[in-house]
A and B are shown apart, each in its own frame.
Chain A
C-alpha cells in the first residue's frame, strides 16, 4: 500500500491542454474518488497515474518513490498498480483463472499460482469460476474478475475507471458495495474515477472534484458536500440553489431569505442545499428568518419531493426538499426558512 502525491501535473494532447497544474494527495490505504463531468480529464489523470501516458510537466510520487518527473516516466509495467478499466478489459483468449493469474510471476510453481487465483476469486465472490470464459460472465462478474486480476499482483494501488458505469441500477449498488468493502478491508489505496456523485459519496474517504483539467476541491465527502467553494463545485456533489447575497464588512449576511434585508447590493451568492430549506403552511413565531413564498412547481420522486418556490417580492426561484408526507399543492402560500449553514461565496468564484 502506498500513498499518492501529484504536484502540478500537466498533460498536453496535440497542442491541447488536458490537465494543467493538477494537485492531488491520497494517503496510504484510503479510497479516493475523482468526480467530474465527462471531458474534464479524469480518465487522463488515471492513465497518467498508471503510466499509460506521458505528462508534459509535474511530478507523481508513489509514497516516497518518484514515478513521473515532467516527461520522464516509469513505464506502467514497473509501477505495480492494479488498473481496472471500463468494462473490465478481460483477455478474451484466457479463462477466468488465467486472467486472474496473468500477472503472477513465472517463478511461482503451479500450485502456488492456482492457490493465489482461488483465493482471489473467493475474495470477489466468484469461487469455482476458474475455467469459465470472459464472454460467459455478466457485466458485474467481469468487473469483479478484473478486480481479482488486479489484486492478485498485490498492487501498491488500485485504479478503477468508471467501474460500475456499465451495470444497471440495482446491480450497481450491490456490486459497488461489495467491491468497496473488499478494497477497504484489504486496505488497498484506491483511486476511482467516476461521473456519478452517488458512487463517489457512498464509497470514498476522499473526493477530488475535477473541472477542466484541475482538481478544484478535495476532501472528505461530508466536507466537499457541506462546504463547497463555489456553486459549480457544489453542483457536482448534489443539488444546489444560489441566491444573491451581500456580506458586510462585519460578516453579516443579507439575502432574500433574511426577512430583515429588503434592500442590499449583492456582492456574492449564498449556496443552499434544497434540504436546508424548510417550508411550512403556517408561520412559526420563533423563526426570525422566515420569508413568504408561493409554490410554483412540485417534482414528486416518491421518497421525497422537490418543491419550487417563488419568494415574495423577489422574482427568484428557490427549491426545497421535502420528505415524509407531502401535502402541499401548486400555488399554495407557504413560509420558507433556511435551517443550515450560511455559505457565502464572492461573485467571482461562481464564474470560474
Chain B
C-alpha cells in the first residue's frame, strides 16, 4: 500500500516539477535579458585600459557629477515621498467632494513625459535652470508613483485598527505613525524606489535644465562619440548606485510580508469631516494639481491654439498608432516574463530574487545606454536591427521591473486559504494558479502592464536610436520639433501623447472592483 502511495505521489510531484521548471526557465530568461545591456557595458568599459578608467573616475568633474546625481536622487525621492504620501492620505481619509476626479488628477501627471513637462515650465519661466528647478520639476512629476503605491496600501488597512488605537489614547498623528506607517511601509518603499530609479535614468528634465547628472554626462560623452568606453564606465557606476539603492529598499521592506491569510471583512473607512482639515486638504490638492497638471496642459493648449502651421493629421495619426503599438508589444513582452518571475518570487526563490534585482538595475539605466547596447546587439544580429521587435524589446527590458513589482504585490494579496481550497477541490498547482491566483491578481497585473505601457509611450532616447527608419512616434516627433525650436508645432504631438497616456493612467488609478467589493466577507 505505501508503495502505491509513493508512486501516486511522485507522479504528482513530477507534475508540480514541470511548472517549477518553467518558472525557473522564465526567471533565468529575465536574468539573461537584464544581463544583455550590462554585458555590453562591461565589454565596452574593459576595452579601455585601467589607467584611463581611473582618470575618468577621479576627475573632479566626475566627482561633481556623482555628488549632484546622489543629492538630486535623494532630495527628489524624499520630496516625492512626502508629497505622495500626503496626497494619498488625503484622498483616502478626508471627506472630499468629487473624489474620483481628484484621484485621477493627482495621478495623471505621470502621463506627461519629463521633457514635455520641463519644456512647459521653461516656456513659462525661461530663466528656470539648475539643480533646484530640476528638483521641483522631478518631485512634481514623480510624486504620483508614491501616491499610487500608497493609495493601494491604505485601502487595505483595517479601519477598526484606527478606532482601537484612538480608544487606546493615541492621537491621530501618533496613530498614523504607529498604525498606518508600519502597514504601508513596503508599498511606500516600492514607490520611492521607482522614483529614485526614475531620477537616475531621467534625461529630459536634467538635459533641458542643465543639471550635470550621470545621464546627462553619459549622453554628452556618447554624443561626442569618440569616448564610448568612458561613457560605459560611468554607466556601470550608475548601475552600482542603483544596485545600492535597490538593496536599501529591500532592507526597508519588512520581512513579514503582510500576506492575508483569509478573506476577513475589513472595516470601512470613515473619512474625517473636520472643516479645517478639509480646507487644508483642498489647498494641498489644488496646489499640486495646478502645478503638475493644469499649468502644463494650459500651456500646451495655448501653444496648440496659437500654432500657425497647418496640422499634419496623417503624421499625427501614424505617430499615435506607432507609439501605441510599439509600447503595447513591449508591455506584453515585459509582462509575459514578469509573470513567472513574480510567481516564483512569491515562493521566495533565490533565482527569482536575482531576476528581480537585475531587472531593477536595468530599470535605472538611461534609455540611451539601453539604446546603444541593443544597437550593438542589432549590429551582430542583422535581421534584428532597426525592427519594431527590437524597439519593443528595449521597452520590455527598460520597464520590466514595474511589471515584476506589480505581479509580486498582486499575488501577495491573494489569500492563501483560497489557494488551499482550490487544491482540496481537486485542482493541481498549475490549475490553481491559472484559475484562482491569476484571476484574483488580475487587476494588479493589469495595472503593472499599463504602467509599462505608459512608460514605454513616453520613452525617448532608446526610441530615437532603435526605431526602424521612418518610424516616427509621438515622442520622436516632439523631439524633432523642439530640437529645432518649433515648439508650437510640437504642441499637438505633446498634447496627443499626454491624452493617450492619460488613458492607462486613469485605468490604473480606477479603484478596482475587487477592492470595492472588499473581496468576499
> B-contacting residues of A (Cβ < 8 Å)?
50-52, 65-67, 69, 72-83, 85-94, 102-103, 133-135, 137, 139, 142, 149-150, 153, 159
Contacts and interface: CB of A to CB of B under 8 A. Distances in A.
Given A80-B426, A133-B517, A142-B521, A89 B421 contact: yes
A92 B424 contact: no
B31 to A, nearest CB: 30
Nearest to A47: B420
B418 A91 contact: yes
B288 to A, nearest CB: 34
A75 B423 contact: yes
Contacts of A88: 520
16 contacts: A52-B420, A69-B2, A69-B5, A72-B5, A75-B9, A75-B423, A77-B426, A78-B12, A82-B425, A89-B418, A91-B421, A92-B440, A92-B514, A134-B520, A135-B518, A142-B520
B287 interface: no
Given A69-B2, A69-B5, A142-B521, A153 B262 contact: no
A76 B420 contact: yes
B5 A91 contact: no
A120 to B, nearest CB: 13
B19 to A, nearest CB: 13
Interface string B424-461: 11111001000110011010000000000000000000
Interface residues of B, number: 35
B9 A74 contact: yes
Contact of B521 (A51, A67, A139): A139
B440 A85 contact: no
B47 interface: no
Contact of A74 (B5, B514, B521): B5
B6 interface: yes
Contacts of B50: none
A89 B440 CA distance: 13
B8, B423, B436, B440 — most chain A CB neighbours (10 Å): B423
Contacts of A90: 520
Contacts of A139: 521
Interface in B401-426: 415, 417-418, 420-426
Contacts, number: 109
B101 interface: no
Contacts of A82: 424-425
Contacts of A51: 423-424
A81 B415 CA distance: 21
A244 to B, nearest CB: 45
A66 B5 contact: yes
Given A67-B5, A74-B5, A91-B418, A52 B423 contact: yes
Nearest to A90: B520
Q: Does more than half of chain B's interface fall in helix, strand or loop, or is it mixed?
A: helix
A83 B421 contact: yes
Interface of B: 1-2, 4-6, 8-9, 12, 262-264, 415, 417-418, 420-428, 431, 435-436, 439-440, 442, 514, 517-521
Contacts of B518: 135
Nearest to A73: B9
Given A67-B5, A134-B520, 11 more contacts: A50-B420, A51-B424, A66-B1, A76-B420, A76-B423, A77-B428, A83-B424, A83-B425, A87-B521, A103-B426, A135-B521
B439 to A, nearest CB: 5
B425 to A, nearest CB: 4
A153 B9 contact: no
Nearest to A139: B521
A87 B421 CA distance: 12
B50 to A, nearest CB: 51
A-B pairs with lowest CB-CB distance, top 5: A134-B520, A83-B424, A103-B425, A76-B423, A92-B520
Given A89-B418, A92-B517, A75 B12 contact: yes
Contact of A89 (B8, B417, B427, B442): B417
Nearest to B420: A52
Contact of B517 (A73, A79, A89, A135): A135
Contacts of A85: 262, 417, 420-421
Nearest to B520: A134
A117 to B, nearest CB: 14
A86 B514 CA distance: 20
B425 A102 contact: yes
A93 B420 contact: no
Nearest to A52: B420
Nearest to A149: B425
B2, B263, B519 — most chain A CB neighbours (10 Å): B263
A155 to B, nearest CB: 9
B262 A89 contact: yes
B517 A81 contact: no
A83 B518 CA distance: 23
A137 B420 CA distance: 22
B47 to A, nearest CB: 53
A103 B427 contact: yes
B424 A79 contact: yes
B261 to A, nearest CB: 10
Contacts of B4: 66
Nearest to A68: B5
A87 B262 contact: yes
Contacts of A73: 9
B2 A93 contact: no
A74 B2 contact: no
B429 to A, nearest CB: 8
